[in-house]
Structure 1
Amino acid sequence: MSPPGGRNLHATEAGGARVSSPARRTLGMVLVGCCLPLVSLAGMPKVVFTPWHADGIYRLGAEAGWTVTVPSGTPDPRGRFVYTIKRNDLDVVKTGSFSLETGKARFGTTLDTPAMLYVVVAYQPSPAAIPRKDLATLDREVNKR
């Protein structure tokens, strides 16, 4: 059975959702589709991204975004995180950065048209967070040129 407005939300393997609508009508909501539950890529510290609304749906004009936290027992990362928020994975809506020195950060944006939001986050460690061996290797590589 379809919810009011004839729209069905389907979970995807990537943790987002896709919307199907026979009439392609919008109900004045923004769907945030990229909630990264736990990120731990090579060189990136473990962090948790939680959407402000658990269902990832926001009314038009309402701020949509994420709270970023460090899991218990994990040291706070030294460095900055740079993010890019895209509308429908095409148009850049907002860019910015945050640090997790306090163990928590928030970022988001506001849209006036229905869209799926995607976020790309990159970690930039501070020089103090890079082991000395890595700095020496980096220095040799730079000086080779």
Structure 2
Amino acid sequence: MKVLVQAERFDLGAQNAAFAAGHRDMGAIVTFTGIVRDLPDDPLVAMEIEHYPAMTEKAIAAMAQEATERFNLGDVLVIHRYGRLEPGEMIMMVATAARHRRDAFEAATYLMDYLKSRAPFWKREITAKGAAWVASTDEDEAALSRW
């Protein structure tokens, strides 16, 4: 299990290859990459993400450990960036390895739902009209509630 919280960009191909290497006993690897998306009505200039380092990595690691046990995973990788990110930049990556695809897919979805709603990050969207903190939506909460 590996959790990285970093300001630096990551190489998606290299991370995927490194994660997949050596998992001969796993039948499935699922990856998801989140990208900063533009806003439809007021173009996004940037998203600023803040976090408290002592808390963030521990919280994500605990959720990754829970996912490992719940979905019988062989391995987990979570990368989440912080700082100033522009539309189109990769913001996060989740990779799960399991003996069976269903476990790998469900675990990845579980982790993504957690990261979206409960990971201790504070996100602020900056547009030409100003800046606003991003709150969890009803849709995010509904996705999380199924677990």
TM-score bracket, normalised by the shorter chain, equals 0.3 to 0.5
Structure-1-length-normalised TM-score: 0.33
Specify which structure has the bigger relative contact order, considering alpha-carbon pairs within 8 angstroms and separated by 6 or more residues: 2
Larger radius of gyration between Structure 1 and Structure 2: 1
TM-score, length of structure 2 as denominator length? 0.32
Point out the structure with the larger helix share. Answer: 2
Higher strand share: 1
